[in-house]
Chains A and B, each alone.
Chain A
């Protein structure tokens, strides 16, 4: 078993999780940077298919990282990746819950907390941008990405509907020869 690889996987994903404010999907640029550019656990195409598969399965979005772990190191990788994301932040959650009042009342915490939202907004745009670069080769991809973006921004309907519709459009466009 590749022990060193598993350790890098654990450290990489645990540290990513520790700075992931605003949800795991916001971390897609960082997960991509680590998995593809730094550690070569996956190619661009493999990352993109792992992303798609993890979106289609039921369950939390962190499973993108579980799947990258599985692709690189098998079952051990799957478990290490999943635990690396859940465990350290989970411990923080338990500690925070048990000390709830004190933490939220601290002045410094309030200041840091208050300055997070614009950063998260910027990171979300970055995430969409990096994800789009993975998928969008040609007009169909651009149209789908923009269409879903507008749908999500303007309606409160479950975005899953837009995604299923987008896949249908994609397959149809592909069959008609509009996709690379």
Chain B
């Protein structure tokens, strides 16, 4: 590992190691193929562990920036990595590679599903997997809440967000703007009290 570490260190400048468009295409093709239940884990595995395009620290920084932005963080991370090595052409290669296998298998799976939708087991399996996905959201929410909700205003904001979106089903854009304003205001009051 020691010797390899150094040569595999990619990013001292902006575009140091030569990751070609073909590399990007094949790398992200792999990410798309092996990324079950979202691509975040597969992305790290391919980009850092297997191909060594980025160091773990570099990857974390990029992913962190992607998380600050709206949209799907793993996809934005992929876009930023591709842009770093090959600019916009690289982005097209990466996203094309990333999405082509998943989209084709999605359609195939949907067609198979339609064909067997009347089989009771398929119905049970579907209901169970949607229930499981609900549990996944709730479990992740619990994890995040324990870490994040450390003061009274934060707990209030979380409850407010839940009620506005989960119960009243308000449109997301105006709701998000209002929630952000209220959250910043609360934060301000809490800090200056």
Residue of A94, A158, A179 most packed against chain B (CB within 10 A):
A94
Taking the closest CB of chain A, its distance from the CB of B101, in whole angstroms, is 7
Q: How far is the CA of A145 from the CA of B129 in the complex (A)?
A: 9
B window 65-115: CB within 8 A of A: 65-66, 68-76, 79-80, 83-84, 88, 91, 95, 98-99, 101-103, 105-107, 109-110, 113
Using known A-B contacts A57-B109, A60-B39, A136-B134, determine if residue A122 contacts B126 with beta carbons closer than 8 Å.
no
Looking at the complex, which one of B39, B68, B139, B144 makes contact with A150 (CB distance below 8 Å)? B139
The residues of A that contact B125 with a CB separation of less than 8 Å are 52, 167, 170-171
Whether A163 and B132, one on each chain, are in contact in the complex, defined by CB atoms closer than 8 angstroms, is: yes
Which residues does chain A contribute within 8 Å of B149, judged by CB atoms? 118, 121
CB pair B123 A97 closer than 8 Å: no
A171 to B36, Cβ gap below 8 A? no
Which chain A residues border B169 with CB–CB below 8 Å? Answer: 29, 33, 37, 130
B193 to chain A minimum Cβ distance, whole angstroms, is 16
Contact with A along B171-193 (1 / 0, CB 8 A): 11100100110011011000000
In whole Å, how far is B125's beta carbon from the nearest beta carbon of chain A? 5
Identify which of A60, A82, A144 contacts B38 (C-beta below 8 A).
A60
Beta-carbon contacts of B117-132 to A below 8 Å, as 1s and 0s?
A: 1001101111111111
B56 contacts the other chain (CB 8 A): no
Q: Among the listed B41, B127, B144, which residue makes an inter-chain contact with A179, where contact means beta carbons less than 8 Å apart?
A: B127
Q: Which residues of A contact B186 (CB under 8 A)?
A: 115
CB distance from B158 to the nearest CB of A (A): 4
Interface of A is mostly: helix
Residue of A nearest to B159 (CB): A122
Size of A's binding interface in residues, CB under 8 A: 105
**Given A59-B35, A90-B91, A90-B95, are A53 and B124 neighbors across the interface (CB < 8 Å)?**
no
Contacts of B176 in A (CB 8 A): 19, 21, 119
Assess the A59–B138 pair: CB atoms within 8 A: no
Cross-interface CB contact of B129 among A24, A25, A163, cutoff 8 Å: A163
Q: How far is the CA of A11 from the CA of B41 in the complex (A)?
A: 30
A7 sits at the interface (CB 8 A): no
A151 within 8 A of B: yes
Contact B141 A128 (CB under 8 A): yes
Report 15 cross-chain contacts, Cβ distance below 8 Å, ordered by A residue: A19-B173, A58-B32, A58-B34, A90-B91, A90-B95, A112-B180, A118-B149, A122-B157, A127-B137, A134-B134, A145-B131, A147-B135, A148-B132, A152-B143, A158-B37
